[in-house]
Amino acid sequence: MSWSNRDLAFMEMAYSLAATARGRTSPNPCVGAVLVKKDKIVGWGFHQEAGQPHAEIVALDRTGHQAEGATLYLTLEPCVHWGRTPPCVDRLLGSGLKRIVISSHDPNPVVYKKGAARLQQAGVKVEVGLLGHLNQRLNEFYFKYITRRVPFVTLKAALSLDGKIAAASGDSRWISCQESRYFAQNLRAEHDAVLVGLNTVLKDNPRLSLRLPGLAKKKWYRVVLDTSLRFPERARLLKKPEEGQAIIFAGPDISEARAKRLRKKGAEIIQVPAAGGRLDLKSVLEELGRREIAAVLVEGGAATLTSFLQHRLADKIYLFLAPRLIGGEKSLTIFEGQGAARVAESMKLKNLRHFSIKNDIIIEGYF
């Protein structure tokens, strides 16, 4: 199907709107809508957060009676089911729209192709596929979560030019520059949860909070993997519950008395299977999915990053490469363990992108 330059421009506007809510709509997707009549924008909208009206409804509310005979540019197929909001298709059918251009079908099995079909059956001209590749990137968290019910997993690590994420002492503050750490805060804001291993808590005593403005209402989870439940009861993670729900994953053999004390401090303790001193990460992700956590940012440490890599459970990675040389045989790296026997068996990243922040180089890639 061929698209006009006007079609491209209006859909790009819809995507710009959708992206403004990135990190705020989970477990829903980011969606934008633009209503056009006689080459003039008469309405626009985007989905702001779960439970709020969807993008097309916001646009229609702004448009009023001018919707009749107009064209709607929508980044994702409209829903046909009751959720936290009514079906959007019903409202669209009653608005008198002449044409609807949809960028991408909704991968949700409840919706997939059904929204477009309902509109077409009612006589509305529906065209699908314009800039659909943009949706794959914008809503990559949603696309995985809604089809598999487990979160999208992003790994993040700052490392020196010789591949070290900490000195032999365990010290890692700070490998990357301040500006890179600000970018890392933006990464946190896009996800639903941050995840670390117990060693990171014991060594750094982090808050794992969101520090950017305007995120007070964001539902945020701070997840720790702790097989034997050695989590310190005075950890900063438990000081301010308003900074995000603390979830501690532990194995089956733990002290119930300690678990009870941690629960009193606001932590949620979830027991999952474990073997060889390591938690079953698939069970961890399934439990997070049940809590509608669609995207997890794994920040370390070395053992935790290695576990996700070894079990091939990561979808994406951000490497913050700093102009430093740390050295030392006992200094930690991002991928510990035995490693690949041959280079041909090593993991290879795809869809690479890289950019600079001050003197650091940020490498983004997919597994």
* Cα distances (angstroms) measured from residue 179 to each of 2, 141, 166, 222, 298: 43, 25, 19, 23, 20
Q: Do 142 and 29 meet the contact criterion of CB atoms below 8 Å apart?
A: yes
Q: Do 75 and 51 meet the contact criterion of CB atoms below 8 Å apart?
A: no
Q: In the structure encoding, which two tokens stand for residue 71, read together?
A: 């064209």
Q: In the structure encoding, which two tokens stand for residue 238, read together?
A: 């438990």
∠ at Cα 37 (34, 43), nearest 5°?
35
Residue 164 DSSP SS3? strand
DSSP code per residue over 96-122: T-SEEEESS----TTTTTHHHHHHHHT
Torsion (CA) 115, 117, 42, 49 in degrees, nearest 10: 10
Q: Quick one: how far is CA 154 from the chain centroid?
A: 8
Pairing of strands 164-166, 332-333: antiparallel
Q: In the structure encoding, which two tokens stand for residue 23, read together?
A: 């990190």
Residue 61 DSSP SS3? helix
- Catalytic site residue from 56, 77, 287, 299: 56
Q: Do 73 and 59 meet the contact criterion of CB atoms below 8 Å apart?
A: no
Spatial CA neighbour of 281 closest among 299, 307, 306, 300 = 307
Q: Hey, CA dihedral for 211, 212, 218, 221, is it positive or negative?
A: negative
Residue 56 annotated in active site: yes
Pairing of strands 125-128, 99-102: parallel
Catalytic residues: 56
